[in-house]
Amino acid sequence: MQTAPPVRRRTTRPRADALRNRERIVTAAREMFVEHGSDVPLDEIARRAGVGNATVYRNFPDRDALVREVVCSVMDRTARAAEEAIAEGGDAFSALERFVHTAARERISALCPMISSTFDQHHPDLESARLRVERLVVEVMDRAKEAGQLRVDVGVGDLMIVIAQLSRPPAGLECLSVDRYVHRHLQLFLDGLRAPARSEDLPGTSVTLEDLRKS
């Protein structure tokens, strides 16, 4: 007795317009989270994205899911910039500069604090994105140190703290109103990281990623 061949199930891929809607929602959410914080009403995000409320909830069942997607997408784009800079080879310090400016442009410092106690900080997607960025930051900095272009007494945590501080607006100022200053001040900071160092010793000790996690 012959058995019928197994029926192949067709896997349905999201339609192109559905993917575009999802991307529009994430882009609008990122903009509004940076401008107003993560409590911005979802219907306002839908309005800016040009979609209906139902489309937002169809893609993201709750606010946590949307915030997580926004943060992961920002970290992924930042990681890709670092990977591309490394793959291009060439000047190691230029690769570091490219990463730093991309991280500031993506507003990592304004978005990552949203993953607070009310969110699942250890969600697998967040953990994977964070570890990928951290690994690439270490690689970019190590390459610059090995090339003799980056002072050796600077830790990964030092770099991440400064990116956070310089890309976050001072109290009382709108986030987007200081955009024109961010990259100027970041470049001044980066110039101070170049080797040989102008000062022989920095006060305190270099900050590691583990130090940041404990703080």
The answer to whether residues 60 and 25 touch, using CB atoms and an 8 Å cutoff, is yes
Answer whether residue 146 shows pLDDT above 80: yes
pLDDT of residue 215: 65
Write out pLDDT tens, residues 17-74: 889 999 999 999 998 888 887 889 999 999 999 999 999 999 999 988 998 899 899 8
Report the percentage of the chain scoring pLDDT > 70: 80
Polymer length in residues for the chain: 215
